[in-house]
Amino acid sequence: MTVLLGVDLGGSSTKVVLQHGSTVRDQRVLPGRLSADGLPGLAAALRDAAGGDEIAGVGVTVPGILDETTGVVRRSVNLPWLDGRDVAAEVSALVGAPAVAMHDGRAAALAEAVLGAGRGTRDVYVLTLGTGVAGAHVVDGSARPGAHGAAGEIGHVSLDPEGLPCGCGQRGCLETVVGAPSLLRRWQQRTGRTGGAVSAISDAADAGDPDARAVLDEAGAALATALLGLVAVLDPGLVVLGGGVGESGVLRARVEAGLRARATFHVVPPVVPAGLGRWAGARGAALAAGRVAVAG
């Protein structure tokens, strides 16, 4: 029997999913951040996960920008040792199977669009809310990388040139309103509570807390503004909202209401929660692996 492996390289752990065809047989979390000399160890872990089965293909996500035609990583903030390396070629040589590398957010979006919340829809936009805000347009099972591998930075669409400064150097980016640090800051300003995670805000909002609802109302309005522009440009059939706070029912309702209230010529798509959770990146990598796999 042959197996496909999807590897999600993260800043704090590496996730591995093992599939027979499209059926998930095993999921493993390898703790710790992969280091510059960690690829042989990763390859050994992959062979161990495969047991005696032949590895037909490996997909690897990269937390950063890579040239998807050459596979060379341009820049990874979380794993800087990857810069300038062709991680797929290195993994392929170590494992002895075809391998392909993919931007992590685009891999997760591909999985959501094909296997998760977007299953059955040809044209899907996946928006992931976390510390940053990323998006990916998936059409007919292909996540569009853009001409330079840099598509998807919807978090850095500026909604207000006079707004708060953003880490990217602009002002008033979507991320300065709906990124996790911004949501937590607004929550603290209203309630005096410090620390915590954005999941506490979405849980409180879902339970009817007025401060949490106000924070998500503001975020939802900003998201609706950004998405209305996106709908005008791309006309997606479905929008998937994922990430920590993206699955909040309150936020999603506010986004849909904002879109419907302001749409004129637009066809407003359904806005649905992501379905694959934290395994989406690895599942997307396994999908990509299937496309480069040797037949067997």
- Closer to Zn ion at the Cβ: 24 or 168? 168
Nearer to Zn ion, 83 or 160 (CB): 160
In this chain, which stretch among 116-124, 165-173, 218-226, 286-294 interacts with Zn ion, using CB under 5 A?
165-173
Under rule CB under 5 A, residue 166 binds Zn ion: yes
Closest separation in Å from C-beta 171 to Zn ion = 8
Instruction: Provide the 8-state DSSP code for 64.
Output: S
The residue (of 168 and 292) whose beta carbon lies closer to Zn ion is 168
Radius of gyration of the chain (CA): 20
Nearer to Zn ion, 126 or 166 (CB): 166
For position 168 contacting Zn ion by CB under 5 A, the verdict is: yes
- Do 181 and 139 contact (CB within 8 A), yes or no? no
Q: CA 103, CA 41: separation in Å to the nearest integer? A: 22
Tokens of 136: 């990916």
CB-nearer residue toward Zn ion: 15 or 103:
103
For position 182 contacting Zn ion by CB under 5 A, the verdict is no
Least distance between Zn ion and beta carbon 130 (Å) = 14
- Stretch of 52-60, 95-103, 109-117, 158-166 lying at the interface with Zn ion (CB under 5 A): 158-166
Q: How far is the CB of 177 from Zn ion (least distance, A)?
A: 11
When the beta carbons of 175 and 209 are compared against Zn ion, the nearer one is 175
Pairwise CA distance, residues 65 & 83, whole Å = 9
Q: Which two tokens stand for residue 97?
A: 């199977």
Q: How far is the CB of 37 from Zn ion (least distance, A)?
A: 34
Q: How far is the CB of 169 from Zn ion (least distance, A)?
A: 7
Which lies closer to Zn ion via its Cβ, residue 172 or residue 284?
A: 172
Directed axis angle between helix 249-262 and helix 198-206, to 10°?
80
Shortest Å, Cβ 40 to Zn ion? 38
* Helix, strand and coil in the chain, % to nearest 5: 40, 25, 35
134 binds Zn ion (CB under 5 A): no
CA distance 166 to 245: 20
* Among the listed residues 30, 124, 173, 212, the single contact to Zn ion using CB under 5 A: 173
Burial grade of 41 (CB within 10 A; 0-12, 13-18, 19 or more): middle
Q: Would you state the structure tokens that stand for residue 144, as one six-digit string?
A: 């569009």
**Number of residues this chain uses to bind Zn ion (CB under 5 A):** 5
Q: How far is the CB of 167 from Zn ion (least distance, A)?
A: 6
Classified as helix, coil or strand, 251 is helix
Taking CB under 5 A as the criterion, which residues in 232-291 touch Zn ion? none
For 246, the token pair is: 């993206």
Q: Which is nearer to Zn ion, 168 or 214 (CB)?
A: 168
Q: Does 156 bind Zn ion (CB under 5 A)?
A: yes
Would you list the DSSP string of 91-150?
HHHHHTS-EEEEEHHHHHHHHHHHTSTTTT-SEEEEEEESSSEEEEEEETTEE---TTS-
Chain residues that interact with Zn ion, rule: CB under 5 A: 156, 166, 168, 170, 173
